[in-house]
Amino acid sequence: MNNTTDNPNSHKRGRKIILITAIYIFIFWANCIPGLTQQAAVEKVEPALKIIISAGLEKQKFENGKQITEVIEAVEAKKGDTIVYTIDYLNHGSNSAVDACIIDPIPQGMTVIPQSAMHEGFKTEFSLDNGRAFSKYPVKYLLMKPDGTNELLEAEPSTFTHVKWTLSSPVAPGQGGRVSFRAIVE
């Protein structure tokens, strides 16, 4: 069987962008403990951050002789495309959310653009180990060499697994905001 001729979808070489079902977000107050489920976090505290996640395909177009960047619905993407992931949050609880964190996995097959995740009012960090530990950009790690010595290296953004935003000020009831990052399809 020849897959290129027998498969009716073989002309589509792009990757499907799957929203929400493949993305999970943890929201924590106080210590921002990785691994705690959102349900458990909500049961422990009164603030409740509602989140809405979206992804869009970044496209360049010319209008009146000027290059304009727009974000359109991301249904399919191909290698080299830039996807913008946006997380809107709203505290619909009765108390302020203090030291709230938003932790979002970077989808497999994507390379985050670290500077795109930096937002005023947030401490932004990245993980290399599936969200167990986080560091500010540029992320450094120790490599043990064959002779037993360690070498401090800078991690490539393609090795980042998660991004974490810690809000620098409380989110009052009824208040919210937005964080986002851009990533390139590998």
Q: Is 1 within the bounds of a domain?
A: no
* Residue 2 located in a structural domain: no
Q: What confidence tens digit (pLDDT) does each residue in 73-130 have?
A: 988 899 999 999 999 999 999 999 998 999 999 999 999 999 999 999 999 999 999 9
Count of domains observed in the chain: 1
In a domain, 95, yes or no: yes
CATH code of 101's domain: 2.60.40
Does the pTM surpass 0.95? The reply is no
DSSP state of 77: E
Distance of alpha carbon 96 from alpha carbon 29, whole angstroms = 10
Cβ atoms of 153 and 49 within 8 Å: the answer is: no
Owning domain of residue 54:
13-185
